[in-house]
Amino acid sequence: LFDLDYEHDDQGRGIRGKPRFFAARLDKGVIQVPLKLYERR
């Protein structure tokens, strides 16, 4: 379920809790995941 496809910045880090997977889902209102769940990565 949670294969996070992160958009990477120049330093190779995921952009602050905005993986493409969640972004797409949230646009459709399919799931709402609290940012805190994946901000820690």
pLDDT tens track for 7-17: 544 554 544 55
- Angle in degrees, CA 8, 9, 13, rounded to 5: 65
35: Cβ contacts below 8 Å, ≥ 6 apart: 17
pTM for the complete prediction? 0.14
pLDDT value at position 9? 47
pLDDT value at position 27? 54
| Helix (H) or strand (E) run with residue 24 in it | helix 20-28
Please give the DSSP secondary-structure letter assigned to residue 7.
P
Alpha carbons 12 and 27: distance in angstroms, whole number: 25
* pLDDT, averaged across the chain: 53
- What is residue 35's three-state secondary structure? coil
Please give the DSSP secondary-structure letter assigned to residue 16.
T
